[in-house]
Amino acid sequence: MKIQDIGGEFELIDRLAAIAGQVHGDLVVGIGDDAAVIRTAPEPAPYLLVTTDLLVEGSHFSSRWCSPEQVGHKAVACNASDIAAMGGKPSWMFASLVLAPNADVEWVEGLYRGMARACRSNGIILAGGDTTHGPAASLSITLLGIVDQGHLCLRSQAKPGDLIMVTGTLGASAAALALLEKNDKPDLYLLSKHCAPDCRLDISDIIAPLANAMIDISDGLGSEIRHICRQSRVGAEIVADRIPLHPEVRRAADQLGIDPLSFALQGGEDYELLFTMAPERVEGLMKRTDDCHQIGIVTQGQYEPVLILADGNRIRLPEGYNHFKK
């Protein structure tokens, strides 16, 4: 049996969790959220957060388009984004590197320059790692963080009646990649969103005390909202016209002759935040930021999210990116 035959990445994770996942009194949240949540001291001490992410050359980054500094920056940002999605702050980082035997020392130094710069700007200390050789370059990062118990945001905490919100705009990274793959040149905005995206630690500490559920958008909105629905046992209605798209994303979609929403729903690597919040809390949020947008509402019961189109038609929300899926 192949991974594709069981449905893909998420079904594989479910199977592996069933084999090796553990229950422990101090493991507040194990496999299945943006980071593990661990109790290391009696309440009300903050929880420890641990997340890990793997980037493989050719699959997650390409030296054709991105400088080594940008790859290093992105590796830190995508991990810090998972800590932000839990409502926490990142702290200590470990980086392990697989290099092809003919790897270029300048490329590796550039990678670490990019990581070092992104660590400094996010308050992260690189504390160790490992290097070894293999067929292609890949970089594995483990990032620790802490979160106040009252600010912890899980995928499983959405409530029917919550508003569904996102930060920033979606689809820029996927739009850039689509252009690059057609040998078209994305503009500087799209390219920087693809090669050197920032995470939303700038805004997550405003959102976390007010939100119920939160997740970062790394595999497209269509995938992330399903994680919230499944783990919170709720449904969702997303209004297509409300999904925030940057003008350059619309322009790229025009150029390629495709629906710009597909970049937001099925693309990935936006590293924006998707969260749900009781309606009465939204005013308090909007007083502190103008970069959060309501795109829908959490509904009772059924786990399959619905997309409401401009003409009022309701369709099944297209799925997001799934590693291993056909």
Alpha-carbon distance 185 to 178, whole Å? 10
How many CA within 13 A on the CB side of residue 53?
A: 22
Q: Pick the piece of the chain touching Mg ion (CB under 5 A) from 33-41, 71-79, 163-171, 184-192.
A: 33-41
* Closer of 34 and 269 to Mg ion (Cβ): 34
Q: Pick the piece of the chain touching Mg ion (CB under 5 A) from 27-35, 116-124, 136-144, 264-272.
A: 27-35
Q: Which residue is nearest to Mg ion (CB)?
A: 34
Applying CB under 5 A, the site for Mg ion has a residue count of: 4
Shortest distance (Å) from residue 275 CB to Mg ion: 12
**Is 325 in contact with 316 (CB distance < 8 Å)?**
no
Among residues 10, 29, 34, 111, which is the contact residue for Mg ion, using CB under 5 A? 34
Site for Mg ion in 190-249 (CB under 5 A): 216, 218
* Closer of 193 and 252 to Mg ion (Cβ): 193
**Is 229 in contact with 235 (CB distance < 8 Å)?**
yes
CA distance to 40, 76, 175, per residue, from 44 (Å) = 11, 29, 44
Shortest distance (Å) from residue 167 CB to Mg ion: 14
* Closer of 220 and 260 to Mg ion (Cβ): 220
Shortest distance (Å) from residue 33 CB to Mg ion: 8
Element (H, E) at 129: strand 125-133
Alpha-carbon distance 193 to 176, whole Å? 8
Report if residue 53 touches Mg ion, rule: CB under 5 A: no
* Closer of 57 and 216 to Mg ion (Cβ): 216
* Closer of 179 and 265 to Mg ion (Cβ): 265
Question: Using CB atoms within 10 A of its CB, is residue 219 exposed (0-12), middle (13-18) or buried (19+)?
Answer: buried
* Closer of 82 and 248 to Mg ion (Cβ): 82
Radius of gyration of the chain (CA): 19
Which residues neighbour 18 within 8 Å (Cβ) at sequence distance 6 or greater? none
Apex 183 CA angle, 177 and 187, nearest 5 = 60
Shortest distance (Å) from residue 82 CB to Mg ion: 4
Shortest distance (Å) from residue 258 CB to Mg ion: 25
Shortest distance (Å) from residue 116 CB to Mg ion: 23
Report if residue 82 touches Mg ion, rule: CB under 5 A: yes
Parallel, antiparallel or unpaired: strands 214-216 and 163-167: unpaired
* Closer of 248 and 272 to Mg ion (Cβ): 272
Four-CA torsion 221, 227, 232, 238, nearest 10 degrees? 20
Report if residue 69 touches Mg ion, rule: CB under 5 A: no
Binding residues for Mg ion, per CB under 5 A?
A: 34, 82, 216, 218
